[in-house]
Chains A and B, each alone.
Chain A
Amino acid sequence: MRKELPLLVTILTGLFVIFGHDFAIGEKWQLINSMDKWQSISQAVALLIGAINLTRIHVNHVRRRKAGYIFSLLLLVCMWGYTVLGVIDGYKGVTFRWVYNALLASLDSTIFSLLAFYIASAAYRAFRVRTVEASLLLVSAAIVMLGRAPIGEAIWKGFPDWANWIMRFPNTAAMRAVLIGAYLGSFVTVLRILLGIERAHLGGVGGAGMK
């Protein structure tokens, strides 16, 4: 029953979603909306369980003075401190917002800005002219970059048109081919799950282990 019951729930939920989406009566009864509500409730319960579990684990770390327990303490102070602040100040409160904007948003932006440096090193590796494909990539990337930057137009007026052509035709065609394949792939994966052939999400090696 440990595997059969979740499998049954998966199949019934899948059929429920198809019915809710594709049939007029499903739309009339707002089946998908009610499902979204159930999902929100389940997620809220899961979040609560997660918070309790996290507290239990890290309180134990602190109590037993495990290696790095100071980080556990920091986590507990931040998690419950911010929760309490949110309850007192409200989610639109000035202090609550300030903590978010001054700390979390800044930290987020810092990590995001690393991307600029990594793009440079990745571009260097990708654009080394070693094969015909790499040469094509280098030439097309140079045209697109020059076409999108003001200096390109200053050098030659044709660069923006060439860049737009590359982005609109070869690039879009390749991207759409990948997307169509990905949609069909996800479709078939969902079918495999609905038919009970793919069971990896229930634990273990699932379909990949079948010989």
Chain B
Amino acid sequence: MALWTKGMVVDFWFVVALGVVTYVLITRARAGMKIPEIRKIAGLEALEESIGRATEMGRPVHATPGLGGISDPETFAFFNTLGYIAQLCAKYDCRLINTNRNYLVHSVNEEIIKQAYLEAGRPDAYNGDDVRYLSGFQFGYTAAILGIFAREKPAASIMIGYFYAESLILAEAGAQIGAIQIAGTTSTAQLPFFVAACDYTLIGEEIYAASAYISKNPVLLGTVVGEDWFKILVFLTIVVGTVVTNIIADPKKNPLTNFIMK
């Protein structure tokens, strides 16, 4: 019997190689060796500014992970940012409203926010009623957020995660109440809406770099650099693939396709 599932050999070794590169970069970072810097991400730079503005205006900050479930990587990108947002809100004594569509994500967010307030030395400022499960229905969740926007008028709205058709409804409603909006998603169908309606947009991979970027921790930065190296590898594969496909028209005889599909 074959050792690998068909089509998964390259997949497995790709994971292993990425793991090894990440491990090497983490080790280098821990040893105090130089790690290349990552570029400036305006949306993440603006997080503190937007929370500061909300504090000055005496209005709350709204944060939501969108429709993604607990197993979506985009939701984990939100988790990585939420702790930082909650800690800033606790530090500035600014109210944070977190809205959720998924009950498991809601539980995790509750724990993250509670712990962040505790770590900031403000456990008394944590209000469990502001971590809200709204509805499992896409537009029930959307309508509930529209209601929160109309009633509580948050001065900042942070939307990082996986969004579908509700993205533009939320972003436009936020723009109408004058909130600073920072959005981020990997959904290519919703990115144009966020770009059009929000002040800052984190495009695709930028949402995953949040925790590394915010903390400037060399260990986390090392993992982002490892990702960039693999991006170069993928780019080279695309170039080679384009050349080989133009020379060998039959996909069954294409060595690169056969290797990847092994």
Contact = CB atoms under 8 A, between A and B. Distances in A.
B133 to A, nearest CB: 8
B148 interface: no
Contacts of A185: 73, 77, 186, 204-209, 227
Interface in A108-135: 108, 110-112, 114-115, 118-119, 121-123, 125-126
B79 interface: yes
Given A46-B104, A108-B139, A210-B215, A203 B111 contact: yes
B58 interface: no
Contact of A207 (B114, B169, B220): B220
Nearest to A120: B172
B5 interface: yes
Nearest to A188: B227
B262 to A, nearest CB: 12
Contacts of A111: 139-140, 142-143, 146, 169
Contacts, number: 208
A189 B76 CA distance: 8
Nearest to B117: A204
A8 interface: no
With a 10 A CB-CB cut-off, give which of A47, A108, A112, A191 has the most chain B CB atoms: A191
Taking chain B's interface residues, is the majority helix, strand, or loop, or is none over half, making it mixed? helix
Contacts of A118: 168-169, 172-173, 197
Given A22-B5, A121-B172, A209-B84, A178 B204 contact: yes
Contact-residue size bin, chain A (C-beta under 8 Å from the other chain): 35 or more
A104 interface: yes
Interface residues of B, number: 82
A211 to B, nearest CB: 6
B19 A191 contact: yes
Interface string B111-126: 1101110110000000
B243 interface: no
Contact of A205 (B8, B83, B203): B83
A186 interface: yes
Taking chain A's interface residues, is the majority helix, strand, or loop, or is none over half, making it mixed? helix
B196 A126 contact: yes
Given A21-B8, A114-B169, A209-B83, A181 B211 contact: no
B168 A119 contact: yes
Nearest to B2: A24
A206 B138 contact: no
Interface string B72-84: 0110110111111
Contacts of A65: none
B11 A208 contact: no
A26 B5 contact: yes
A187 B224 CA distance: 11
A99 interface: no
A114 B204 CA distance: 26
A-B residue pairs, 3 tightest by C-beta = A185-B208, A185-B205, A205-B83
Given A122-B193, A184-B231, A200-B112, 6 more contacts: A50-B103, A198-B211, A200-B211, A201-B108, A206-B112, A210-B220
23 contacts: A22-B9, A22-B15, A23-B3, A25-B1, A27-B5, A110-B139, A115-B165, A115-B168, A118-B197, A125-B197, A178-B204, A178-B205, A181-B204, A181-B231, A185-B77, A189-B73, A189-B76, A197-B219, A198-B220, A200-B82, A208-B210, A210-B217, A211-B217
